[in-house]
Structure 1
Amino acid sequence: MTVTSKKNPLWKEVKVKNYLPHMTVPEVETFLTNSDLVIIPIGALEQHSSHLPIGTDFINGVELCKLIAQERDILVAPVLMAGQSPYHMAFPGTITLSAETILKVHIETVESLVHHGFKRFIFMNSHGGNRAITTFLVDQINQKTAAVAVDYSVAITPFLKSEEIEKAIALDRHAGTGETSDCMYLMPSLVEIEKSTTPKLKLPEHLQKMLPEVINEETTAKMLFLAEGLKAKETGKKTSTKEMTETGVWGEINPNEATLERGEKNTKRMVEACSKFIDKWNELARN
């Protein structure tokens, strides 16, 4: 009897340049002759309503880093899928890690890569709940290791092209039209836009009163709103996701208003800004 071997029917992945999980040892050695730069996305595994996957933040971060690495010599080295997401734990599938765990994993990652000859690191936070952790992580790496690290969002800001932004008419944040638009460009096969629904948002009374100023981007109102909003149920603030919205969307607009064009424009804007930052860092590193 003849047995015909077949390949894994689920394997669709294509090798991507400068993406560490795809690279061989000789390829890393060759890379190091040209660059000592690494970009590490810090994402999350958390609910993103009924139309986006739980891995949205991790996947979006990795895909954006891959696109940057096609423009410049920078190693893409994701090491951790999950992030800090305690406020989404009422939704099955969400995984949340402590800040201490996230810090430890990434510091040890940097130490490993420094051992091999990498010296400069960009940390791309692709999940809002990791923002403070990323800031502290960058500081700890600079204080305690031989590496030099920067926060992606801070690094690219001076290089972002100014653009006309339509005036917001409603709260539109987690799993809303902006994030959904990015997903439509970065991971189109995982977006199930037909399953999106109009969210029904329920905020604590004082946050509801604050909302018009938040929507208008008033600095103090927005800072206080985000300091209290979207926090774990255990805090007693009554702002965990499930307490504010059954759909998991933290906003008032149906995500089906998202567009591929918006996602493409935003992604290309980020890639261009990061490429310009890398050029400037390379220039300064040579001097």
Structure 2
Amino acid sequence: MELAAQTWPDLGSYFETESLALVPVGSTEQHGPHLPEGTDHIIAESLARAAATSSGFLCTPTITIGVSPHHRQFHGTMWVDAPVFRDYMESLVSNLTYHGIDRVVFVNAHGGNVAHLREVGRRLHDRGEAFAIEWMWDESIPTLVSDLFEQNGPHGGPKETAMIQHLAGDLVREDRLEEAHEGGVTFPTDDSHRNGARVFYDCIDNSPNGVFGDQTDATAEKGERLFEAAADQLRELCLWLNEQPFEDLVAKPHV
């Protein structure tokens, strides 16, 4: 069920019996010369909608701009400062709790959002207001991702390329896959860590064109397998979370 497509009486009926919502969260940032800047929010929204449709749970509108200052050197990248993002997401969940939602799954597709969404979940959990968890699609199916691609990459690589080939193939610049591979790098690079420390902050410090891995290894068929497997994982997570008594999810009292 998509919140934005419902009337308020219909939503009232949902809130009478259900207390879970999916919130898709992505970014609008560079994904190399071959993928659209909406890559992350396209993936997040598609997975959230699929899981909501199969489970019957509520899906909110998508958060399309996240924490992406590390991609700012590339044209068109948009971002919000991390404290603003955290406060916004916390306020958004509090909005949902007002209507009766007490558990939320952040359907995330951008690595830069991870730590901040987990911090939001921590704040809400400590107040006993809601149980909000961050879910990252590729982390739900690591074995399949490794099996499908010889040279994977954390950003703009074959897994994201394959997903967009499947979800929005007309947005993929297929004639630039070789360019993306040749102008990018495998990950991690030799210069990214020294003596146990991560010694870079921005993507441009690692990759001239902003991507990692072998994009030529991606296909729409592989993307379909990734999508279906991740959507199944998300659905199962929602069903599990829905079954948990709320008192088991909130912070435990002092020992």
Pairing 1:42-121 to 2, within 5 Å after superposition: 42-78=25-61, 80-121=63-104
AA aligned to 1:208 is D
Contact 2:185 2:212 in 1 (8 A): no
Q: Deviations over 1:18-49 (max 9, x none)?
A: 12222221221122233211111221110011
Contact 1:41-1:125 at 8 Å conserved across structures: yes
How many angstroms does 1:167 deviate by? Answer: 8.7
Give the 3 Å change call, closer, same or farther, for CA 163–89 of structure 1 in structure 2.
closer
Name the TM-score, length of structure 1 as normaliser: 0.74
What is the alpha-carbon distance in structure 2 between the residues aligned to residue 92 and residue 161 of structure 1? Answer: 31
For 1:3-32, what per-residue CA distance to the aligned partner results, in whole angstroms no more than 9, with x for missing partners? xxxxxxxxxxxxxxx122222212211222
> Residue 173 of structure 1 is aligned with which of 129, 154, 166?
154
- In structure 1, the partner of 2:208 is 246
Q: Which structure 2 residues correspond to residues 1-287 of structure 1 after superposition, within 5 A? A: 18-78=1-61, 80-144=63-127, 146-153=129-136, 157=140, 163=144, 165-166=146-147, 169-170=150-151, 172-196=153-177, 197=179, 198-201=181-184, 207-208=189-190, 227-229=198-200, 231-232=201-202, 240-241=203-204, 243-251=205-213, 253=214, 255-285=215-245
Structure 2 alignment gaps of length 5 or more: 249-255
SS of 2:17 mapped into structure 1: coil
Report the CA distance shift for 1:164/1:111 in structure 2 as closer, same or farther (over 3 A): closer
What is the alpha-carbon root mean square deviation over aligned residues?
Answer: 3.0
Instruction: State the 1:164 CA deviation.
Output: 8.6
Check the 8 A contact 1:79/1:109 in 2, yes or no.
no
Q: Deviations over 1:85-131 (max 9, x none)?
A: 12211111001211111111111111111111111111122101111
Q: Deviations over 1:41-66 (max 9, x none)?
A: 22111001122111111121011100
Are the counterparts in 1 of residues 148 and 222 from structure 2 also a CA contact under 8 Å?
Answer: no
TM-score (norm 2): 0.82
Rg larger for: 1
Q: 1:170 to 1:79 in 2, by over 3 A?
A: closer
Task: Render the CA deviation track for 1:205-226: whole Å, top value 9, x for unaligned.
Answer: x941789xxxxxxxxx9xx68x
Change (3 A) 1:105 1:276: same
Structure 1 counterpart SS, 2:22? strand
CA distance in 2, matches of 1:85, 1:107: 18
CA 1:59–1:37 in 2, change beyond 3 Å: closer, same or farther?
Answer: same
Structure 1 gap ranges (5+): 1-17, 212-220, 233-239
Q: 2:153 & 2:242 partners in 1: Cα distance?
A: 37
Matched residues in 2 for 1:21 and 1:189: separation? Answer: 26
Given the superposition, is the C-alpha separation of residues 164 and 140 from structure 1 closer, same or farther in structure 2, using an over 3 Å criterion?
closer
Paired residue secondary structure (1:273): helix
CA distance in 1, matches of 2:88, 2:231: 26
Q: Match for residue 236 of structure 1?
A: none
Q: After superposition, give the CA deviation of every residue in 1:212-250 in whole Å (9 maximum; x if it has no partner).
A: xxxxxxxxx9xx68x445x23xxxxxxx32x43332212
SS of the equivalent of 1:123 reads strand
Contact 1:40/1:124 (CA < 8 Å) preserved in 2?
A: yes
Contact 2:31 2:211 in 1 (8 A): yes
